[in-house]
Every structure is written in structure tokens, then in C-alpha cells.
Structure 1
Amino acid sequence: MNILQKSKNNQRRIGLTGGIASGKTTITNYIRKHKNIPILDADDLSRELIKPNTYGYKKILNYFGNEIIDNKNNSGKAINRKLLRNIIFKHSESKEWIEKLLHPLIKEKMIKECSQYKNNQTIVLVIPLLLEAKFEDICTEIWLVKCPKELQKKRLISRDKVCEEEAYESINQQLSFEEKRKFADVILDNSDDQNKWIKTIRELL
């Protein structure tokens, strides 16, 4: 029996997902503050996997060249994540390449991290592209954040300082809420009143 099977047999693993700027961070922060539950975030693991001199870092530099390095960074070695996002946003081939590189690495690292919390009855896995990257098999249930596209757009424009067109494109690059809800066990409604999802979390955690 492998690490994944052992972990799932004894542990409730909640995969928290949702569209870009749907409110996953707000919900994660609430759980972190009010519940004594370990939280693993795929975005945090992704950052670790592209730190200088890691396998992911070397592969990315080999593919994109040294211009992807953030020269404003004190070390002069770190990857410019904003520039990288802009490149893969505009070039589908680059996006596909980096997803093929990073998604398996993130999944492997997340499974290993899960094993460190094997004595915890419940853990939360925050995975923005849970369904797109096929992470369903490491979760025992999927919680999906519901948020209208217009609200996503406003948040994205404010957060990332992008234009309306770019915001819509970023949203539409992901699976729609309608597609995702087919796989969801729980919907956290973050449409207007946060008390809706708070009530759901209090009932289920």
C-alpha cells in the first residue's frame, strides 16, 4: 500500500478549489483562524519548487532563458513570477509546458506533505486547478467556491492591476463553475454574503 492509499484510508482530505479571485484565500484564512486544521496550499508548494537551484528552477531557466530571472530581487537569481505568469498567459504552448512540468511535482510534494500530518483526522488542500490538473485522487471530498464572474473580474482587476479584457481571459482559461460543480461535494457560496460559506464551514468542520 503506497503513501497515498494509507493517508486516504485514515484521513479526511478536503480539496478546496474555485476559480481565480473567487475568494479561496479569504476562506482559507478563516479556516486557519477558527479551526485547528492543517492547510496545504498548492501555490505555496509551487513557489518552493521553483526556488533557485531546484529541479523546477533549472528546467524553467533552460526553457525560457535567463531573461525570466528577477533582476530587482536582492539575490539576482529568483524567477520573476509575474513575468512568468504574463508569458504563459499569452502563449498557450508555454502554459502547457509549465503545467506538465509543475503539476506532477506539486502533486508529489503535496502527497509527501500529507504524510507529515497522518495523525490529523482532517486536512485541507487548497488547489486552485484541482480539476484541471487532475488532483481529485488525492482528496476524499471536493469543496468548490461559488462566485459570479463579474465579482471575480472586479477582484482580479483590483488585485492584479489588469485590464477588464485580461481579467475575463484569465477567468475563462479555467473550467467554468458549472463544469466544476459536477465534481463538487460541497459548494461554498461566496457570491455576496460571506455568512453563507461561514455557516457551511461551521456545519461541516
Structure 2
Amino acid sequence: MDIIHKLKNNQRRIGLTGGIASGKTTITNYIRKHKKIPILDADNLSRELIKPNTYGYQKILDYFGNQIIDNKNNSEKAINRKLLRNIIFKNSESKEWIEKLLHPLIKEKMIHECSQFKNNQTIVMVIPLLFEAKFEDICTEIWLVKCPRELQQKRLITRDKISEKEAFETINLQLSFEQKNKLSDIILDNSDDQNKWINTIRELL
């Protein structure tokens, strides 16, 4: 059976997405605090899928070698996620390889998690690369976080302690807001006044 068939058809599954450092975490934390709605996070699922002794972990080790292991105070020999991110950032071939490996695994895991909440009328799924990874078919609606590039870049520099050039290049790896906007149902405006998106959420959830 196709894994998509495991989804409950009358369930409201909101795909929350947006560019890196656009404010998805802030919005997710608000929903978690004020609404009794299950929240599934693709990034958290990704971390689980590359833990030691998993299929994803072994595949990544086979591809990149032991250089990817975090040897500092790490008895479990876990993957150094920051190092992995830096490698695929600089190598498009490696980036494409790991996306082909992980995106289907994350999607299958997300669908399984949704099935665990089949009695919940509404679920929020936080999926940063929703369009890039083609997760549209598991969402009943898509909410996109809006944030000016200048503010997005500033947040990314502060958060990840990277240069302006690195932040610019990282943001450019993803689809632009304009491209995502055409494919989204709801815009959560996180430009300056957070009351804009709070009011939108209050109206819709």
C-alpha cells in the first residue's frame, strides 16, 4: 500500500514552512503554548533518522566516511551535523545525494507520525524544505512564513555565527519567498509586528 493512503482524509494537516531564520520556531512555540494541537517537526525527525545504528546513519557513513563522525566527547560516534551541513553546502553533488536519501525517509516517518494522531482533527507539520522536498501531497493546506531577506540574513548571521556572505549563500540555496508564495494557502507575516501572524493564527486555529 502507498504510504500516502495511511493518512486520514478528513484530517486537517497544516504544513508550516518558510525560509531559514524566517521565524518558524517562534511561530511554532506560540502554537504549542496556546493551542492543543500536535506539532510534528521534520528537523527533529531528520535527527532521529541519522542516529547511530540507523539505516540513514550507516548510509551516510558509507558515503562520507569516518570524517563525518564527531569524535569530541562522543562515545556513541554520532554524526557531526554541523560538519555535514558545511560539506553539503560546498558540494552540490553531496547535497543532492543526501537529499535523495533523507527526504523520502523523513516523509515516510512524518506520515507514520500523522497516523499516530489520527483522532486529532488538526495537526501542524513544520517542514522547512516543504516545496523543495515535495511534501505538498501530505498537507491539506500550506502556511508560509513571510520575512524580509535583510531581516532573515541578519537573524541567520546572529544565530549561526556565520559571515554575511555565508548567510546570503545559504538563503539562496532555498526557493525564494516569491516562488513559495505562489504555492501557499496562508501567509504568516513575520516582517516586523508579530501581532500580524498572531492574529492570523487566532482566526484560523
Per the shorter chain, which TM-score range? over 0.9
Determine if contact 1:8/1:138 at 8 Å carries over to the other structure.
no
Name the TM-score, length of structure 1 as normaliser: 0.97
Bigger CA drift: 73-82 or 18-27?
A: 73-82
* 1:10 Cα deviation from its structure 2 partner: 2.2
Determine if contact 1:8/1:139 at 8 Å carries over to the other structure.
no
Residue 25 of structure 2 corresponds to 25
Residue 180 of structure 1 corresponds to 180
Residue 105 of structure 1 corresponds to 105
What is the identity, as a one-letter code, of the residue corresponding to 1:55?
Answer: Y
Alpha carbons of 1:47 and 1:73: their partners in 2 closer, same or farther (altered >3 Å)? farther
How do 1:42-191 and structure 2 match up within 5 A? Answer: 42-191=42-191
Name the TM-score, length of structure 2 as normaliser: 0.97
Taking the aligned partners of 1:3 and 1:120, their CA distance within structure 2 comes to 19
Give the % identical residues.
Answer: 85
Taking the aligned partners of 1:7 and 1:177, their CA distance within structure 2 comes to 28
* Corresponding residue SS for 2:9: helix
Taking the aligned partners of 1:73 and 1:116, their CA distance within structure 2 comes to 35
Taking the aligned partners of 2:67 and 2:36, their CA distance within structure 1 comes to 42
* 1:72 Cα deviation from its structure 2 partner: 1.3
* 1:9 Cα deviation from its structure 2 partner: 1.1
Taking the aligned partners of 1:91 and 1:146, their CA distance within structure 2 comes to 28
Unaligned runs of 5+ in 2: none
Taking the aligned partners of 2:80 and 2:17, their CA distance within structure 1 comes to 25
What is the identity, as a one-letter code, of the residue corresponding to 2:100?
Answer: K
* 1:73 Cα deviation from its structure 2 partner: 3.8
Unaligned runs of 5+ in 1: none
* Corresponding residue SS for 1:112: helix
Number of paired residues? 205
Taking the aligned partners of 1:75 and 1:17, their CA distance within structure 2 comes to 35
